[in-house]
Amino acid sequence: MRYQGIGTERLESEIRSKFPDVPSVRMDTDTMRSPGNYEKALSAFREGSAKILLGTQMIAKGLDFPQVTLVGVINADTALHLPDFRASERTFQLVAQVAGRTGRGPLGGRVLVQTFSPDHPAIVAAASHDFIGFSNQELAHRKEYGYPPYGNMARIIIRGTDETSVESFAEKLAEHLTHQDSSTVVKGWRVLGPAPCPIGRIQNHYRFHLQLQTSLSGSLQDHLRGHLQSLRTPSNVDFQIDIDPLSML
């Protein structure tokens, strides 16, 4: 195996090999560490001393350069297949926002989208800026499976420094949420998991999570508070509850 760099670093290498005489500037967390780097890079691109601007999502929003006539969205579906019910929504937002950076001046513009899923509704709708069409399809999908805004949802993250203890408590918590006692099943909500989080370990803490969905009226917080008040948590494990989570990672 040979390390070749990833993401914007690899893209920068490709651009410089294809366009050796065209000055470019890269914007990502590695190149924007010092104060003033962000403004310096944008000024170079705005003034024309840099002809190509490449970077991460930080260049997708809020920038207005009328002279931009071509935008390329590389690996547009990177986030599309993440285990998160908002993945399509985020992909649509990103592609539509990046595409909106071009064609703002009298010269017009063109957008090229690189994707392994060219027929995916989020990609197709974003390429044509069809927000209404995308939202109608996405809302129908969420309604079918009871995702917000058509149902309440909570993500419970269990973490600790001992993986066995974390997994054991996660299983106990799932059983506690599923049954009122040894024989009575809790009605009105659905528990998925436990399973390791997509990011399974952060700062030496192992992470498992559960997903709870319900169509019950009233506050999901109140339902959970009443159901979990008798649960004892091991000293080396803690958990947190995220209502209608914005991220499942």
Q: What does R_g of the chain's alpha carbons equal in angstroms?
A: 23
pLDDT in tens, 156-167: 999 999 999 999
What pLDDT does residue 17 have? 92
Q: What spatial distance separates the first Cα and last Cα of the chain, rounded to whole Å? A: 28
From CA 151, how far away is CA 243, in angstroms rounded? Answer: 11
Domain edges within the chain? 7-145, 152-243
Report if pTM > 0.85: no
Cβ 90 vs Cβ 65: under 8 Å: no
Q: What is the pLDDT of residue 38?
A: 81
- 47 membership: H or E segment, kind and range: helix 37-47
| Of the candidate ranges 29-33, 61-65, 129-133, 243-247, the one whose mean pLDDT is the lowest | 61-65
Give the confidence band of 243 by pLDDT, cuts at 50, 70, 90: confident
More confident residue, 91 or 247: 91
Choices 3.40.50.300, 3.40.50.2300, 3.40.250.10, 3.40.50.920: CATH for 7-145:
3.40.50.300
Closest among 79, 223, 80 to 153, alpha carbons compared: 223
Instruction: Give me the percent of the chain exceeding a pLDDT of 70.
Output: 88
Q: Give the pLDDT mean for 78-89.
A: 86
Rounded to whole angstroms, the Cα distance separating 201 from 212 reads 22
How many Å apart are CA 85 and CA 248, to the nearest integer? 8
Element (H, E) at 210: strand 205-214
The encoded tokens of residue 230 equal 């008798």
3-state secondary structure of 135: helix
Domain pair 7-145 / 152-243, same fold: no
CATH of domain 152-243: 3.30.70.600
Nearest to 30 by CA among 10, 50, 15, 1: 10
Please choose, from the candidates 86, 99, 148, the residue with its C-alpha nearest in 3D space to the C-alpha of residue 125.
Answer: 99
